[in-house]
Amino acid sequence: MRLIPGRERATSAPDLTKRRRPRLRHPAQVLVAAFFAVLMAGAGLLCLPVASTGPGGADFLDALFTSASAVCVTGLIVVDTPAHWSGFGQGVILVLIQLGGLGVMTFASLLVLLVSHRLRLRARLTAAAETKSLGPGDVRGVVFGVVKVSLLLEAITALVLLTRFATAYDEPLPRALWLGVFHAVSAFNNAGFALYSDNLMGFTTDPWICLPITFAVVAGGLGFPVLLELRRRWRTPRRWSLHTRIVVWATCAFIVGGSVFVTALEWDNPHTLGPLSVPGKLLAGLFQGVMPRTAGFNSVDIAEMNPATWLGVDVLMFVGGASAGTAGGIKITTFAVLLVAVYAEVRGEDSANIFHRRLQRGVERQALTVVLLGAAAVVLSTLVLLTRTSHNLDQSLFEVVSAFGTVGLSTGITADLPGLEQLLLIVLMFVGRLGPITVASALALRHRVRLYQLPEERPIIG
């Protein structure tokens, strides 16, 4: 055992002023508390009688689950969205989706900047932690950039959808506008909420509905740092940061691979792609290949898919999209880092390299932590569903991964789950939206610094 150099001076005299420290000292704790507060506020609003179409207010558990699914931009539902919720209720869901997608603290920082034109250090640190910006100094630009990009892409998508709903489906202009805005916001924020009881199954072969939504889902899944960098340097890929390169190439690979996988396995399925024409099959296959990254829209019946397709979609949902955006899962950057680390280990190399850059050891350790925590959450939750419900392994695993990945695709069993299991899915959505490390850091009582190093020894691996 030896002391770490410089750590012997880490301790300091006690503060004689005895200032009262805030209870939420870590940015992760502030993020968790803020999301939880918005979640509960949304549940309270959805419990109001005016939020439901039927007499009386909604059941609290239904309101809580819907609020959590909206704030965590998931899309899992326990009641029929257009039939159960009134216009007010749907508006609350839309606001919750936008808050959850932008980030609660990002939105709060925007309001403070608009009013006072400045942020305190604690607010900057929290916003930096949520947006994954470089540091508290660039938070102002990042916050405004996030909002501008979000509103611009949502407006473009809404305009295309509005035009299509009004011209091809004879929707009145106010209704077409509402449909366009709601689905655009839901798509960009990867939420998957739809104002149709069958989600988007009525538009399976309509490219003017499916393709704009697909575009918005992919854009939101890239993450705000990537979107902001592409806005500035889209013509010069050689100047992209390592993070942007990984996200762009991995996203393309997952879109192509996921679309080919779903299309091939469901090509002859009479309940999904089988009855469609060849162009219709390709469009539906592309749509369902993109949605597991992490938007819960579906243009075919997920419950009728082959079990093999479910398993592949489980993998896509678990990986998810990019960091610091609206996507969930362990993130494609995490997957790429581990893949490169495994490749380097197999080749006997001392370090993992990607795009002519060497990865830090700490990045590999962090990626491994995210994967193991995520896998543990999925396995334990699936075990709970298997032991407490009558649903099989395929259905239980699919629902759990969908909740953890904040995807929202469902085999149709969520609404039938008992109350305790629905609460479990709420926890999974919450953890999946904020990230396992963020939640774990928020739960930690304190940050411990070891002042010494133990003797080194290596166990046998493999």
Q: Does residue 314 lie within any of the structural domains?
A: yes
453 DSSP β-pair partners: 2
Give the whole-angstrom CA distance, residue 219 versus residue 217: 5
Q: Does residue 19 lie within any of the structural domains?
A: no
Q: What is the pLDDT of residue 139?
A: 64
Give the whole-angstrom CA distance, residue 199 versus residue 193: 8
Owning domain of residue 231: 26-445
Give the whole-angstrom CA distance, residue 363 versus residue 427: 26
pTM of the predicted protein model = 0.86
Q: Does residue 439 lie within any of the structural domains?
A: yes
Give the whole-angstrom CA distance, residue 146 versus residue 326: 11
Q: Does residue 302 lie within any of the structural domains?
A: yes
194: tokens are 């739809």
pLDDT in tens for each of the 462 residues of the chain? 555 555 444 444 445 444 555 555 566 677 778 888 999 999 999 999 999 998 888 899 999 999 999 999 899 999 999 999 999 999 999 999 998 888 755 655 554 445 455 555 555 555 555 555 545 556 666 777 778 888 999 999 999 999 999 999 999 999 999 999 999 999 999 998 999 999 999 999 999 999 999 999 999 888 878 888 888 888 888 888 888 899 999 999 999 999 999 999 999 999 999 999 999 999 999 999 999 988 889 999 999 999 999 999 999 999 988 877 778 888 898 899 999 999 998 888 888 888 888 888 788 888 888 899 899 999 999 999 999 999 999 999 999 999 999 999 999 999 999 999 999 999 999 888 887 766 655 555 455 666 777 787 778 766
Q: What is the pLDDT of residue 206?
A: 96
Q: Does residue 430 lie within any of the structural domains?
A: yes
Q: What is the pLDDT of residue 110?
A: 52
Q: What is the pLDDT of residue 225?
A: 80
DSSP secondary structure of 376-414: HHHHHHHHHHHHHSS--HHHHHHHHHHHHTT-----S-G
Q: Does residue 18 lie within any of the structural domains?
A: no
In one letter, which amino acid is 311?
A: L
Q: What is the pLDDT of residue 166?
A: 96
Q: Does residue 455 lie within any of the structural domains?
A: no
Q: Does residue 3 lie within any of the structural domains?
A: no
Domain total of the chain: 1
